Every structure is written in C-alpha cells, then in structure tokens.
Amino acid sequence: GENVEQHPSTLSVQEGDSAVIKCTYSDSASNYFPWYKQELGKRPQLIIDIRSNVGEKKDQRIAVTLNKTAKHFSLHITETQPEDSAVYFCAASIQTSYDKVIFGPGTSLSVIP
C-alpha cells in the first residue's frame, strides 16, 4: 500500500541554524504534499503545502522542495527560533485525490536557544 517515510525522527539544531526534514513517498500518482506542525499538547496545523506542478514553494522562513522523479520532498526551515520546536509531519495524497493523505511518522525538532 501507500507509504510515506520521514527522516530524521529527531533533530536538534542551534537557534539561528537551518533545519531540513526529508520525506519519501511510494505512490507515483501522489500530487499534493502538505506539511503539518504539532506543538506539544496541541493539534496539528498546516504550515505549508505544495502541489506536483511546482518544484519549490517558500513562505518566509519555510520552504518545501519536491522531486517527483525521485518521489521525495523536503521541508527547509531557516533561521530557526525556539518557537519552531515541535513535531513536523509530512504527508502525501493518495493517488490523484487531494483530500486523503497519508502522514509520515513525524520529526521531533528541538531548537536550542
């Protein structure tokens, strides 16, 4: 079945450094790739998403890149701040549906002041 892998499972960076989280997916028909952030004790929230017709998307300090040939996509956070500390989940849509996605196992990011 469809599968999304995510690495690393945990990541610690110094404040101000960059953080990169990588995901791979198995369904070549996937065309929508959202990223969710879940702070401790809170609900997941969408932070950025990308569709298969673009290779990169940026929103302030956050960017996502997509390589459809290799079936992998990455989240890049620059100038990290302590409030970036959270669990980040990548996801990939099932076949050509945008609505249903499969989530990766998550990456726990710690930004050390």
Residues that bind another protein (CB under 8 A): 32, 34, 36, 43-46, 49, 89, 93, 98-106
Rounded to a whole number of angstroms, the minimum distance from the CB of residue 11 to another protein is 15
Which residues are CB-contacts of 39 (< 8 A; sequence separation ≥ 6)?
85, 86
Cβ-based nearer residue to another protein, 28 or 97: 97
Rounded to a whole number of angstroms, the minimum distance from the CB of residue 32 to another protein is 6
Burial of 40 (0-12, 13-18, 19+ CB in 10 A): exposed
Cβ atoms < 10 Å from Cβ of 79: 11
Cβ-based nearer residue to another protein, 25 or 36: 36
